[in-house]
Amino acid sequence: MLALMSQATSDLPALLQSMAPVKHPGVYVFASLPPGANAAALETIASMLEPEGLSVIVTEAQAIKAGLVILFRASWITLQVHSDLHAVGLTAAVATSLSQAGISCNVVAGAFHDHLFVPVEAGEAAMALLLALQLHQRPV
């Protein structure tokens, strides 16, 4: 049985007003598995097949246990708004806000939400900036 899905939003001001960022506990990492490697034992958050191998996002503990080379340690922030995959401007607005504070951001779009991976040491600062961006968009 399919769960009821909320209506996807594509209006940029509405997306920003209701993005409701949440920081997941723990540390997440980007790693790359060589071509042909078996990722079945990993509980991946996300993956992308590239010519160089399979890029994965997993918990830091999993990466260490599997002996993976950690390429980037991150905090994982989910924007809880149901963003339309055709929406324009949300990623740019978020990236602009974070970049002005010198915080890098890797965005992964899911079918319902956008997921931000920022340097682990910048997780709390990124949350504060995102909440300020959301508050700034609130109607007066």
DSSP annotation of 42 = S
The residue assigned the tokens 């997941």 is: 24
pLDDT tens by residue, 75-125: 999 999 999 888 999 999 999 999 999 999 999 999 999 999 999 999 999
| Sequence-distant (≥ 6) Cβ neighbours of residue 110 within 8 angstroms | none
Query: Domain 12-136, what architecture?
Result: 2-Layer Sandwich (3.30)
pLDDT tens by residue, 60-80: 999 999 999 999 999 999 999
Amino acid occupying residue 98: L
Distance CA(13)–CA(28), nearest Å, equals: 30
Q: Tell me how crowded residue 98 is: count the other CB atoms within 10 A of its CB.
A: 21
**Is the overall model pTM greater than 0.75, yes or no?**
yes
Break the chain into its structural domains and give their ranges: 12-136
